[in-house]
């Protein structure tokens, strides 16, 4: 027996309101589901972006010298020696800024001393010492590391522009500067045209001080003790030891030198969580509301179908009495639901694409990936049919004798 679409359709058209409300719900749900999932996917990608540093075992310490007795060079030297001697510490360095702390600096490099505007390549600056690369958790892929005697002393307020004769750059920056071949041994020029030699190239790190991923992989390591104001120690621990080491540092480091304050002893993983806070709020809100939305839509369809069956008990009885099988009754309600769902999905597709287009237009989101639309259609179709299944089964249990009872 072929599916009796015509009578279902004509009965639907006679009782439009309920069907329209269900279809409208499905349409809106589809538009929300598809676009929310797409936004969630992008935010999750952002949050999970690799940092390129050994973030589970890395923490940072801020240090502020504040009395006339504070001597930056000797204080940094003593603190580093103490940190490196701690049980569980793999390596430590003083840095001008730590990854994902939203505080740092960047400056341009040029391939020629003429410094034309098209020659300019911006890069993030990290001032480190000979343990710096190891502490970040990146490794050399060409050239060599800094030697301890190459580390320049800190700049001062009066002499800020120190110029390192040699630097180490990340792979991406090396390739950007010298697309042809190896960058090791090549000369680059700073913003005043002073030459610097690239002595090493490391694997990329993707975690600049800022969360903005644009050009985060263009990083330059400079052999230099950072300025007094606003520097941090970066400490890499042996795997699993970060909590122990941080506890020891919190308890003991301040006492080593009363002329400086030690504060903000925090793991880089916490900074990462903080930097992506808004993304997390968006993801959690969208997941919770979209899940609830689907649940409400499913229950709503279920409720309407149940009412539908109970108001039509008599009709069903008559159909059964004139020869319809249980199977036909179930099929009737499932097809009816399918028709309504399809109408809703068609409207929803148009709505989802419009919303996706507006979002890409006004909020610079990438254009909606159609795979998400296909997934959303399947989900809503299945939800619609599942919600109608139980009421349809109940309808089928209406005995033919109902037809003969009242009236």
CB neighbours of residue 81 within 10 Å: 10
Q: What phi and psi, each to the nearest 5 degrees, are found at residue 358?
A: -60, -40
Pairing, β 187-189 against β 89-95: unpaired
How many Å apart are CA 178 and CA 133, to the nearest integer? 22
Pairing, β 166-170 against β 195-202: parallel
According to DSSP, the residues that pair with 157 across neighbouring strands are: none
DSSP SS3 for 140: strand
Q: What is the DSSP letter of 103?
A: -
Q: Identify the CA nearest to 265 among candidates 33, 74, 86.
A: 86
Q: Give me the residue label for tokens 């309504």.
A: 340
CB of 298 to other proteins, least distance (A): 10
Identified binder of other proteins from the candidate list 144, 147, 247, 273, rule CB under 8 A:
273
Asked whether position 311 contacts other proteins by CB under 8 A, the answer is yes
CB of 276 to other proteins, least distance (A): 10
CB of 156 to other proteins, least distance (A): 8
Asked whether position 107 contacts other proteins by CB under 8 A, the answer is yes
Cβ pair 229, 76 in contact under 8 A: no
CB of 56 to other proteins, least distance (A): 17
CB of 17 or CB of 48, closer to other proteins: 17
Identified binder of other proteins from the candidate list 1, 13, 114, 192, rule CB under 8 A:
192
Q: List the structure tokens of 121.
A: 């390549």
The 315-354 contact track toward other proteins, x by CB under 8 A, reads ----------------------------------------
Asked whether position 361 contacts other proteins by CB under 8 A, the answer is no
Counting residues that bind other proteins (by CB under 8 A) gives 66
Q: Is 52 left (phi over 0), alpha (psi -120 to 50) or beta?
A: left
CB of 286 or CB of 329, closer to other proteins: 286
The 227-266 contact track toward other proteins, x by CB under 8 A, reads x-xx------------------------------x-xx-x
Q: Which helix (H) or strand (E) holds 172?
A: helix 171-177
Q: List the structure tokens of 41.
A: 């996917």
Asked whether position 297 contacts other proteins by CB under 8 A, the answer is yes
According to DSSP, the residues that pair with 127 across neighbouring strands are: 222
Identified binder of other proteins from the candidate list 2, 10, 48, 160, rule CB under 8 A:
160
CB of 214 to other proteins, least distance (A): 10
Identified binder of other proteins from the candidate list 78, 296, 370, 386, rule CB under 8 A:
296
- The distance from CA 48 to its chain's CA centroid, rounded to whole angstroms, is 5
Q: Give me the residue label for tokens 């190459």.
A: 150
**Which residues of this protein are in contact with other proteins, per CB under 8 A?**
17-18, 21-22, 24-25, 28-29, 31-32, 35-36, 39, 64, 66-68, 107, 117, 157-161, 190-192, 227, 229-230, 261, 263-264, 266, 270-271, 273-274, 277-282, 284-286, 289, 292-293, 296-297, 299-300, 303-304, 306-308, 310-311, 359, 363-364, 406-407
């Amino acid at each position: 027996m072929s599916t009796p679409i015509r009578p279902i359709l004509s009965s639907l058209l006679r009782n439009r309101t309920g069907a329209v409300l269900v279809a409208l719900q499905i349409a809106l749900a589809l538009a929300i589901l598809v676009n929310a999932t797409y936004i969630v996917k992008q935010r999750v990608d952002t949050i999970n972006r690799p940092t390129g540093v050994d973030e589970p075992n890395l923490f940072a310490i801020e240090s502020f010298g504040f009395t006339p007795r504070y001597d930056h060079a000797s204080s940094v030297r003593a603190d580093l020696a103490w940190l490196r001697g701690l049980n569980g510490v793999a390596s430590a360095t003083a840095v001008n800024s730590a990854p994902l702390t939203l505080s740092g600096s960047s400056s341009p490099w040029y391939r020629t001393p003429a410094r034309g505007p098209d020659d300019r390549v911006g890069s993030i600056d990290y001032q480190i010492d000979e343990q710096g690369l190891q502490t970040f958790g990146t490794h050399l892929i060409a050239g060599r590391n800094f030697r301890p005697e190459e580390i320049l002393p800190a700049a001062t307020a009066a002499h800020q522009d120190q110029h390192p004769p040699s630097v180490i750059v990340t792979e991406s920056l090396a390739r950007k500067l010298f697309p042809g071949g190896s960058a090791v041994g090549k000369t680059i020029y700073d913003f005043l045209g002073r030459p610097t030699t690239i002595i090493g190239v490391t694997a990329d790190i993707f975690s600049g001080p800022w969360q903005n991923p644009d050009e985060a992989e263009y990083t330059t390591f400079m052999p230099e003790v950072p300025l007094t104001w606003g520097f941090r120690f970066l400490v890499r621990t042996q795997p699993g030891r970060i909590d122990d080491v941080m506890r020891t540092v919190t308890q003991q480091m301040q006492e080593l030198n009363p002329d400086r304050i030690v504060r903000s002893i925090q793991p880089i993983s916490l900074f990462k969580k903080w930097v992506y806070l808004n993304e997390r709020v968006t993801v959690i809100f969208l997941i919770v509301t979209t899940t609830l939305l689907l649940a409400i839509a499913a229950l709503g369809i279920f409720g309407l179908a149940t009412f539908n069956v109970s108001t039509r008990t008599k009709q069903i009885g008559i159909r059964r009495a004139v020869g319809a099988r249980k199977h036909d009754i179930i099929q009737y309600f499932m097809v009816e639901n399918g028709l309504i769902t399809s109408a809703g999905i068609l409207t929803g597709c148009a709505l989802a694409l419009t919303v996706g287009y507006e979002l890409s237009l006004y909020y610079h989101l990438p254009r909606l990936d159609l795979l998400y639309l296909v997934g959303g259609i399947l989900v809503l179709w299945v939800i619609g049919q599942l919600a109608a299944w139980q009421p349809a089964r109940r309808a089928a249990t209406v005995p033919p004798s109902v037809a003969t009872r009242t009236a």
